[in-house]
Amino acid sequence: MSSVIKVDAIQNQSGTNAMTIDSSGIVTQPVIPCFHLTAPSGTIATNNKPTWGTITLNEQNLWSTSNQRLEAPVAGLYHLTCSMGIYASGNTSARDVQHAFYKNGSVYGAGISNQLANVINGNDHTTATNVAIIRLAQNDYVEVKHNYVDGSVLYGGSNWVAYLIG
């Protein structure tokens, strides 16, 4: 025996909409923890995290500006994508850059590495992108840190996006 529930909206007891379904079947959720960051500044040494300069979006305070990290307001699965764009500081030594997600202070996954070899000027660029789905409890946190930096690199064109999947 099958059952059909016909509703246009799901609300909590106080009347706040949690989900709506329109006549074509599109489901929307008005509140989803998420953020989009751009433009870390300056140089970053091994085992340090970048200071993110621009917050394009920060729903439900998923991003903590004071701690420079994701702080989960609710338990669930979170999708994270971080692309670190680097450019040379103008010399001829190789540049190897690796960054990783750190969950509650411990590395999560292997990290992403990219190398910029035979750097001769500030026009040499590369990007390393790290993607993960991480299960977080309420108040867990995630940071991006460099596992390894060979020499000095500067940052440009970087983005970090995260959101609650469910």
3-state class percentages of the chain: helix first, strand second, coil last, to nearest 5: 0, 55, 45
**Residue located via tokens 């596992």:** 147
In the predicted model, what is the mean pLDDT of residues 34-49? 79
Query: pLDDT digits over 80-122, tens only?
Result: 999 887 766 555 555 666 788 999 999 887 766 666 665 566 5
Tell me the HSE value of 86 on the side-chain side, using a 13 A CA sphere: 32
Write out pLDDT tens, residues 114-124: 666 655 665 66
What is the rounded radius of gyration, in angstroms, for the C-alpha atoms of the chain? Answer: 20
Q: From CA 121, how far away is CA 91, in angstroms rounded?
A: 6
Tokens 């789905």 label which residue? 133
Q: Look-up: residue for tokens 């190789």?
A: 94
Instruction: Please report the sign of the dihedral spanned by the C-alpha atoms of residue 110, residue 44, residue 89, residue 149.
Output: negative
User: What counts of helices (H) and strands (E) characterise the chain?
Assistant: 0, 14
pTM of the model: 0.82
The pLDDT of residue 143 is 95
Residues 67-105 as b or e (16 or more Cβ within 10 Å = b): eebbbbeeeeebebebbbbbbbbeeeeebebbbbbbbee
DSSP result, 41-93: -SB--TT----EEEEEEEETT-EETTTTEEE-SS-EEEEEEEEEEEE--SSSS
Per-residue pLDDT at 166: 87
